[in-house]
Amino acid sequence: MDNIIFIVVAAVVGLAIGFAIAKMMEKGKASKTIANAKKEAADIIKEAKKEGEGIKKDKIFQAKEKFLELKAEHEKVINNKDKKIGEAEKRTRDKESQVSSELAKNKKLNDQYQQKIKEVEYKSEILDKKQAEVEKLHKSQVQQLEVISGLSAEDAKAQLLESLKETAKSDAMAYLQNTLEEAKLTAQQEARKIVVNTIQRIGTEEAVENCVSVFNLESDDVKGRIIGREGRNIRALESATGVEIIVDDTPEAIILSCFDSVRREVARLSLHRLVTDGRIHPARIEEVVKKTEKQINEEIAEIGKRTVIDLGIHGLHPELIKAVGRMKYRSSYGQNLLQHSREVAKLCGVMAAELGLNPKIAKRAGLLHDIGKVPMAEVEVETPHAILGMQWAQKYGEKEEVCNAIGAHHDEIEMTTLISPIVQVCDAISGARPGARRQVLDSYIQRLKDLEDIAFGFHGVQKAYAIQAGRELRVIVESEKVNDDKAAELSFEISQKIQTDMTYPGQVKVTVIRETRSVNVAK
C-alpha cells in the first residue's frame, strides 16, 4: 500500500516537474521566435526602404525623361509655328511687292487710256465735221440727180427695189433648180452607197433547204427492227409523224421525206430515241412521238428567246417570241425563214442607223415582217401573210410604225413611216442573194398543203399527210365517225375532189386509214 502511494506521489511530482520544464521550454522557444520575427521585420523594413529608394529614383528619372520629351515636342511645335509664320510673312511680302507692281502697271495703263480717250474725242470731232460735210454734199448731189432724171429720190428707190426683187427672184429660181437637180443625183448616189455598204456589212452564207433528211444507223440490222413485222412499225411511225420513211439499199441510212421541216425533225428525233432505247413497237412509237413534239415546242420557245437576245430586241410578247422560234422550221422559196428574218433585221438596223433613224425599231420590224408565214393553227388562212402579221403585231401590242412596216412590206397597205420602205428594201436584198431562194420549192410545198387541206375539208378526218413528193395522200379518220364503208366512199370522194380542183403531175394515190383500238389498264 505504501508502494502504491509512493508511486502515485512520484507520478504526480514527475508530472508537475514535467509541466514546469515544458513551460520553461515553451517560454524560451517563444522568446526565440519573437526575436526571429523582429529580425525578419527589421530586414523587411530595410529591404522595403531600399526598394522604395530605387522606385523613387526610377520615377524621378522617368519624370525627367518625360519632361525632356515634352520639352522637345514643344520646341518642335514652336519651331514649326515659327517656320509657318516666317513663310506667311514671306508670302505677305511677296504679295505686297506684287500688288505694288500691279498698282504701278495699272497707273501706267490708266494714263495711256486717258491719252487714248483724248485722241478718240479729237478724232470724233473731226469725223462729225466730215460727216456734216458729206451729208451736205450728198443732199446737193441728190437734188442735182432729181433735176437731171426728173424723178424724186423715193421714186428712184422704189424702181431700184423692184429691179433688185426681180433679179433676186430669177437668181433664186435658178439656184433652186440647180440645187434640186444636184440633190436628186446626190440622193440616188447616197442611196446606192447606203445599200451597197449595208449589203457588204451583212454578207451571210445562204443555203436552200431541201425536203429530205438522212438518219444514220450504226448497222443495217436496225432497219429490220424499224420496219417491224409486216411493216407495222414503219406504218405506225409514218402515221404518227406524217413523214415518209424510205428504207432502201443505202447502207446504214434511212431517208425521211416531208415538206414540213417540223415533222421531219420530230421523226428524226423520235427515230433516234427509239433506236437508242431498243423498244420499237406501235404503242412505244406513239408515246415517243408525243414526247418529241413536246420537246420541239419547248425548243421553239428557246430558239425565239435566243434570237431576240442576239438581236438586242426587248419587250417582245411571248406569243411573238414563239412565232419567231417557229420560223426555224419554215422556209420561204427554199430559204430558211428564221435566217431570212434575222438577216433582214440586221440589214434594217444598219440602214436605219445610216439614215439617222431608230435602229432598234427597224430591227424589230425586220425580225417580225414575215411572222404571218408562221400560222398559229394548222389550217391555212386566205389572208396575205403581211396583213396577218400586222394583225398579230397589233394584237400583241407592237408600235404603230412596226405594224405598218409589217403590213406594207409587200404593198398591201400604204406606207406611213420611214421604217416601212427600209423593211421592204431589206426584204428584197435578203431574198435577192444568188442561191437564197428556189421558186420551184414554194409551189411544191403549196401543192402539198393544198392536198392536205382538201382532205381536212371532209367530215371525220383526223389527220392528213401528203407523202412521196405529193404522189400519195394518207388520211387518218376517226373510227367513231367513219365506218369501213364510209372510209372507202371517202377515199373516192377525196380523189375526185383532187382531180377536179388541182393541177398536178402524174397521179395521186389516196389512202384512208381507219383503226379501232381498245385500251384498258390493269391496276
How far is it, in rounded angstroms, from Cα 324 to Cα 315?
A: 14
User: How high is the pLDDT of residue 190?
Assistant: 64
> How many other CB atoms sit within 10 Å of the CB of residue 101?
10
Q: What single-letter amino acid sits at 521? A: V
Label each residue of 438-505 as H, E or C.
CHHHHHHHHHHHHHHHHHHCCCCEEEEEEEHHHCEEEEEECCCCCCHHHHHHHHHHHHHHHHHHCCCC
What is the C-alpha R_g of the chain? 57
Residues 275 and 222 sit within 8 Å (Cβ to Cβ): yes
Closest by CA position to 372, among listed 403, 334, 342: 403
Closest by CA position to 358, among listed 395, 323, 410, 405: 405
CA distances from 436 to 204, 429, 496 (A): 10, 10, 37
User: How high is the pLDDT of residue 24?
Assistant: 76
3-state helix, strand, coil split of the chain in percent (to 5) is: 70, 5, 20
The SS3 of residue 290 is: helix
The SS3 of residue 412 is: coil
How far is it, in rounded angstroms, from Cα 483 to Cα 342?
A: 49
User: How high is the pLDDT of residue 369?
Assistant: 87
Which residue bears the cell 519573437? Answer: 34
Which portions of the chain are predicted below pLDDT 50? 205-208, 379-380, 435, 439
How far is it, in rounded angstroms, from Cα 374 to Cα 516?
A: 34
Angle subtended by helix axes 318-326 and 337-354, to nearest 10: 120
The SS3 of residue 202 is: coil
333-382: pLDDT as tens digits: 667 788 888 888 888 888 888 888 888 888 898 888 888 888 765 544 56
User: How high is the pLDDT of residue 380?
Assistant: 46
Q: What single-letter amino acid sits at 124? A: S
Decide the pairing of beta strands 509-513 and 335-336: unpaired
Residue 216 has which C-alpha cell?
A: 444514220
Strand order, beta sheet including 461-467: 461-467, 472-477, 509-513
Residues 273 and 258 sit within 8 Å (Cβ to Cβ): no
Residues 430 and 344 sit within 8 Å (Cβ to Cβ): yes
- DSSP-assigned states of every residue in 128-159: HHHHHHHHHHHHHHHHHHHHHHS--HHHHHHH
